[in-house]
Structure 1
Amino acid sequence: MSLTIALDRPDALDGPDVLDGSDRPAATPRRNTETRAFLNWLACWLVLPNLPFLPITLMGGPPRYPEVVLCGLAGLIARRLNYAGRAGLFLALMAYLVISFIARMFNMAVTMILSVIGLVFDMNPQASIEYVAGAALLLLILGTGLWLLRQPSDFRRPRWLFAAVGATLLLTGGDYAISKDAMGSYARTDPHGAPFSSASSQAGFAALADGKTNLLLIVVEAMGEPRDPALRARLDAFWMRPELAGRYEMIHGTTPYFGSTTSGEIRELCGHWGNYDRIRAPQPDCLPALLARQGYRTTSYHAFEPEFFDRSRWYPLIGFQRMVFGQELLDHGAGLCPNVFPGACDRSVPGFIRRQLETAKQPQFIYWLTLNSHLPIVENKALGTEHCEGLGAKFDGDFPMICRLFSIWGHTADALVKEIGRPDFPPTDILIVGDHMPPFTQQRSRLQFDAERVPWILLRHRAAKAGTPGG
């Protein structure tokens, strides 16, 4: 009876162990309860929240150690809340972890992801087995977490608190060690006063406007600068074809990049670092606006939705007089290319550009942002990525996503060269540039590309350079 009374008193819970007749002390009910509570806490707040990202982390994905710390802190706060409080905090934490992971993968701010989350239904994530597997794992973890959160996790002994902090720090250090080699290629969203440079400025693209020659600027989705010389030579060969040498002078170089695709657009079109969310009023110094004042008709082409990243709002503010998006291209005969971002096929766009230039009554500035090389690229016959080969045994076998990426670029380049190589193609200076490095989830693939620079190629029309009319 005295033992029962002692155990019922809170101050007795931290007392000496009770002997069970053997040489070992028997575990007290409090010790068992504390152990179970800690293990449940560990599962709910460290293991489960980080489990969906573990496969990519092991492949050397984006650094997540700040998020790991956040998980531990959230768990320590939640352990004394009621079930509703724990479940609400768990769901909010998981939502933030997913959004921040996507943002870091694609060099975007979390606010940018939130601004386009309503357009998720225009995407086709089920086209990617990686996305399907990730979504299934995430749903399983959410269900498991909400079930486990019904169990107590309010440990009180100092040693369990130290164990929780230690486990958090151990997982944090492991994530840092795995991701540190590719860390510089993630979260490149703020130049912090870096000197400005762009392909447009290096090539003197705006100065090529003579009132007679057309200008075509192409920003190629995910076209990064390969580290391997053979891969770089292959990339140059896509755009700098021998059959174009008689009509175009070919120059190439590299330029720094920061951020995601829209940051690359602002870099090349407006001549400064930044992003589209800062554009709230007309921008007279952006390239389309400058050329419009010089008598050029300014047109943009993009094969996806006009609302994606708010392009239908800010494109006119930087000077585009006409915008052509995916549905209009499809309505006028462009092919449909299935992918996670389904839209009109990039290989259809050069034909539209040629027809526009042929019928124009004034000089044209055309801007084309490609779509189909947006990662992840699925293996698909319609995309021309089925059974990908062509980069050699090393890259075809070890880096299938790189092979698919080069395949998309090759198809796009083939379609462009077919049009601009025609004898009757109107005189046009053409600048081709990447927006950012390809944001591969696998570190080995990511490290095949420069983490700071993207390539550009200028095709300068020889007749325009000589100041003579015609082609």
Structure 2
Amino acid sequence: MFYPLVVLFVFVDVILLVCQVFPFVRLQDVAYLMGFIPAAAVTWQILTCLLMVAVVIAFMLFLFSVKRSSFLGCLALLNFSLLFYAFSVYGGDVDRGKFWRVPESVPVSSQIVYFYTYRQGAFLEKYFEEGRPFTKAAYKGATELWFDKEAGFQDKVLLIVNESWGATLNPLVGERLISPLRNLKNVDVVEYGSKDFVGATVAGELRELCRLQPNHFNLSDVSEGFEDCLPGRFKRQGYYTHAIHGAVGLMYDRIHWYPRVGFDERVFFESRSWQERCYSFPGACDLELMVTQLSPMLEREGKRFIYWLTLNTHSYYDARDLRGDYFDCAEYGVLPEGEACRNLKLQAQFFKGLAGVLSELSSGVDVLVVGDHSPPMFDQREKEAVFVDSKVSYVRLRVK
């Protein structure tokens, strides 16, 4: 009985640790997404292997200590470790009321109890409704206004779901990122703000495309529920619909469900030959996609709805994807060597590139850029010093 309990406690600790970075809801989703590890960035492959090795080594060392030491000695060591941990976190000034984390900094608590209690909440219960792949989104997307009107769009409509574009604590940082758009003479910034959201990338996509949230991530065989999504709506208004994403189409089964959502044309990493391959997540580089795919689509004749899910601002925010330095982290009090700084530099590069594309357009376009989720980071203290947790940014534009 003793050993199974140890395994259970370690398992819950590991799950909650992972969920602090990636807030997965179902254990089945974790197992499903593990199948995509070979397509992930090398950094994630190494970290996954190290995590598995660390868990095995920790468990083996525990068993060894139990066999070699007295029970009272092991118990004393365990209690000393727990006491040290309690004092290290108690009374801290960091807000711990975050998703998947104990809501208060208390000296004694239980991850097991919290794990069970949280999963009984009304929000998570929606993910386990039998027989339904989707439920109505718990968070309103920035595209809500587009669902509410059937006319009044320009001939070109561009929706960009921007990977890991969160809301910053310092509003000047956010303004600095979108400043290339504000400086364009042919573009009006209609609205800029933030919205609440917790979830993975595919949940962010479905929030904006369909006003839905997934009950699971395995969408390869799902054929129902996509009837009222934006691409289908625009198709019924006479628009030709495009989807662009630099990763392979098998990620999150997009190669299967994008056509069912209503996209006439899909471009993935395997669709073309690319000059470069970027690093933050393996795939085509966003800057190349802007020039070779996005810009030509916007210049084609006829009514077109274009959807683009960006890639290079994906965690771990690899600095090798930077082609220039367009954001001074030190100027805004952001740690220059940290993940937050790399995220902001990559975002600044993205918006500068997008401004370049929009500046050359010869026809009017309605544009909406919105984050999929807040930027995942390993160092929560660093994230909390720069970003507002559980919020995404958005900006609405109109090219004249």
Same fold (TM over 0.5): yes
Q: Provide the residue aligned with 2:294 in structure 1.
A: 353
Q: Distance in 1 between matches of 2:38 and 2:138?
A: 39
Question: Higher helix fraction: Structure 1 or Structure 2?
Answer: 1
Instruction: Determine which of 379, 387, 393 is the counterpart of 1:442.
Output: 379
**SS where residue 344 of structure 1 aligns?**
coil
Check whether the contact 1:266–1:275 (CA below 8 A) recurs between aligned residues. Answer: no
Check whether the contact 1:267–1:274 (CA below 8 A) recurs between aligned residues. Answer: no
Check whether the contact 2:163–2:309 (CA below 8 A) recurs between aligned residues. Answer: yes
Question: Residue by residue, what CA displacement relative to the aligned partner does 1:6-60 show, whole Å, maximum 9, x if unpaired?
Answer: xxxxxxxxxxxxxxxxxxxxxxxxxxxxxxxxxxxxxxxxxxxxxxxxxxxxxxx
Q: Distance in 2 between matches of 1:278 and 1:379?
A: 31
Find out whether 1:113 has 2:26 as its counterpart: no
**SS where residue 225 of structure 1 aligns?**
strand
Matches for 1:19-418 after TM superposition, within 5 Å = 76-78=2-4, 98=14, 100-109=16-25, 110-126=27-43, 132=46, 135-136=49-50, 139=53, 142-143=56-57, 145-146=59-60, 149=63, 152-153=66-67, 166=79, 170=83, 173=86, 177=90, 181-187=94-100, 192=123, 196-201=139-144, 203-204=145-146, 207=149, 209-210=151-152, 213-238=155-180, 240-243=181-184, 245-274=185-214, 277=217, 280-282=222-224, 283-329=226-272, 331=273, 333-339=274-280, 341-351=281-291, 352-360=293-301, 362-380=302-320, 382-384=321-323, 390-393=328-331, 395-397=333-335, 400-418=338-356
Question: Residue by residue, what CA displacement relative to the aligned partner does 1:359-404 show, whole Å, maximum 9, x if unpaired?
Answer: 34x3111111111111112332x4347x896133453545632221
Matches for 1:450-465 after TM superposition, within 5 Å = 450-462=388-400
Q: CA, structure 1 residues 337+438, in 2 after alignment: closer, same or farther (shift >3 Å)?
A: same
Q: Distance in 1 between matches of 2:51 and 2:204?
A: 33
What is the identity, as a one-letter code, of the residue corresponding to 2:161? Answer: V
Q: Distance in 2 between matches of 1:179 and 1:115?
A: 36
Q: CA, structure 1 residues 440+458, in 2 after alignment: closer, same or farther (shift >3 Å)?
A: same
Check whether the contact 1:211–1:294 (CA below 8 A) recurs between aligned residues. Answer: no
Structure 1 gaps, min length 5: 1-73, 80-88, 463-471
TM-score computed with the length of structure 2 as normaliser: 0.76
Check whether the contact 1:211–1:295 (CA below 8 A) recurs between aligned residues. Answer: no
Report the Cα offset of residue 343 of structure 1: 1.1
Question: Residue by residue, what CA displacement relative to the aligned partner does 1:219-254 show, whole Å, maximum 9, x if unpaired?
Answer: 11111110112212213324x3312x4343432122
Q: Distance in 2 between matches of 1:199 and 1:393?
A: 30
TM-score computed with the length of structure 1 as normaliser: 0.66
Q: Distance in 2 between matches of 1:452 and 1:241?
A: 26
Q: CA, structure 1 residues 179+433, in 2 after alignment: closer, same or farther (shift >3 Å)?
A: farther
Higher mean C-alpha deviation, range 363-372 or range 179-188: 179-188
**SS where residue 369 of structure 2 aligns?**
strand
Q: Distance in 1 between matches of 2:152 and 2:366?
A: 11
Q: CA, structure 1 residues 179+327, in 2 after alignment: closer, same or farther (shift >3 Å)?
A: farther
**SS where residue 454 of structure 1 aligns?**
strand
**SS where residue 347 of structure 1 aligns?**
helix
Q: Distance in 1 between matches of 2:223 and 2:138?
A: 25
What is the identity, as a one-letter code, of the residue corresponding to 1:412? Answer: F
Q: Provide the residue aligned with 1:467 in structure 2.
A: none
Q: Distance in 2 between matches of 1:168 and 1:246?
A: 61
What is the identity, as a one-letter code, of the residue corresponding to 1:291? Answer: F
Q: Distance in 1 between matches of 2:330 and 2:316?
A: 21
Report the Cα offset of residue 265 of structure 1: 0.9
Higher mean C-alpha deviation, range 142-151 or range 313-322: 142-151
Check whether the contact 1:200–1:206 (CA below 8 A) recurs between aligned residues. Answer: no
What is the identity, as a one-letter code, of the residue corresponding to 1:297? Answer: Y
Check whether the contact 2:173–2:332 (CA below 8 A) recurs between aligned residues. Answer: no
RMSD of equivalent CA atoms: 3.7
**SS where residue 323 of structure 1 aligns?**
strand
**SS where residue 143 of structure 2 aligns?**
helix
Question: Residue by residue, what CA displacement relative to the aligned partner does 1:314-355 show, whole Å, maximum 9, x if unpaired?
Answer: 2222222222112224x1x4532123x211111122221121
Q: Distance in 2 between matches of 1:234 and 1:112?
A: 36
Of structures 1 and 2, the one scoring higher in RCO (CA 8 A, sep 6+) is 2
Check whether the contact 1:263–1:276 (CA below 8 A) recurs between aligned residues. Answer: no
Q: Provide the residue aligned with 1:6 in structure 2.
A: none
Structure 2 gaps, min length 5: 102-118, 127-136
**SS where residue 149 of structure 2 aligns?**
helix
Q: Provide the residue aligned with 2:133 in structure 1.
A: none
